[in-house]
Structure 1
């Protein structure tokens, strides 16, 4: 998203990144060499996008000065190297535990997350409710997921975006995390019918009764 912001807004965000405790509208206008009103307009737009928020106030000779700071979402606009670090962790586990040990660990992690999510949603009773809720959770996580539930057919979940795509392309075993999470959350077996990490157009999962 950073690339679609205007030049002034990018500069404003960079100033706030350097000044973690926050800056006033006057300080931002001075740092950007723009008027105070222009600075406030940029702040209002960035607040609407939830990239900037009001922080603490700072005592002054008169009225306390309002400080503005980056939100977590705003900080995430700047480069992060999570996938690189995740690859290091994956390779480290593989080196010490072997490939099967890595798969076991990923499955354990998926089941742990599923149990946490199920505890947060104790009202879910039927398989259909669990599949629908899982699809909603995946959508919130960025999978761009949708579900298909029809009477007499096994439900499916389809995702257009793999949030681990780069990692899974180099380490396909990463998919074991998703599969274990989905199975433990829905209490159903999972058939991974199509996978983007294996050149599929989407990730498609069929969730069917265990032992079927």
Structure 2
């Protein structure tokens, strides 16, 4: 993957970053990272500014830091899969067979996914292994997914006091490659949640804690282990 693509992916998954932060991750000099950023800016994919919370702190101490973020075009660099065709098909099914017919189609897709995912997860016994493998499957499908153990110091702190039990995992999806279809019919989102629940049945409960289509910046799912007494 070229450095320009790596920068776009880092800004998509990590949010606003300074030139130095990007340089450290990519093992470049700051000038090298800045050269790539300026090239992306010329393409209209990124823009810099000082409206990051940390920039305000820096401003109180002296010169504010410049933070780089994706533009709308930058976000669209990660496109929906066959979005136009998907929307046409969904609308066609709804017109021909009504809402019930569309729901049957979604249920069939969910069942097919469950079979596929369960086969992929069959060699993974515990919750940690299953969630990490789920993240890998979703990453391969274009969701820019990652999984982390809640409060293990490795993930972000965007899930506040939610009272999750010890051993809970979080699956984060920074991009939704079926977003256009899900926007038209949010039963796709319900189906995704049911899919995850089926994959860890008996091991954990699953709740969506952040939703891209409900003013969230991504989708996040909390996997809470089921106690032995339940």
Residues 32-75 of structure 1, C-alpha deviations (whole Å, 9 max, x = no match)? xxxxxxxxxxxxxxxxxxxxxxxxxxxxxxxxxxxxxxxxxxxx
Distance 1:198 1:80, change over 3 A: closer
1:110 maps onto 2:124 in alignment: no
* 1:200-211 → structure 2 map (5 Å cutoff): 200-208=216-224
- Give the Cα–Cα distance (whole angstroms) in 1 for the partners of residues 197 and 138 of structure 2: 14
1:123 maps onto 2:137 in alignment: no
1:190 maps onto 2:211 in alignment: no
- Give the Cα–Cα distance (whole angstroms) in 1 for the partners of residues 149 and 139 of structure 2: 16
User: What is aligned with 1:87?
Assistant: 87
The answer to whether the 8 A contact 2:127-2:225 is kept is: no
* 1:157-176 → structure 2 map (5 Å cutoff): 157-176=171-190
User: What is aligned with 2:54?
Assistant: none
Q: Of the two, which has the highest radius of gyration?
A: 1
Distance 1:146 1:120, change over 3 A: closer
The answer to whether the 8 A contact 1:106-1:176 is kept is: no
Alpha-carbon RMSD: 3.2
Q: How far is the alpha carbon of 1:173 from its aligned partner?
A: 2.0
Q: How far is the alpha carbon of 1:179 from its aligned partner?
A: 1.8
Distance 1:92 1:130, change over 3 A: same
Unaligned runs of 5+ in 2: 5-78, 151-164
Q: How far is the alpha carbon of 1:98 from its aligned partner?
A: 4.0
1:180 maps onto 2:194 in alignment: yes
Q: How far is the alpha carbon of 1:144 from its aligned partner?
A: 1.0
Unaligned runs of 5+ in 1: 5-78
User: What is aligned with 1:152?
Assistant: 166
Q: Give the length in aligned residue pairs.
A: 136
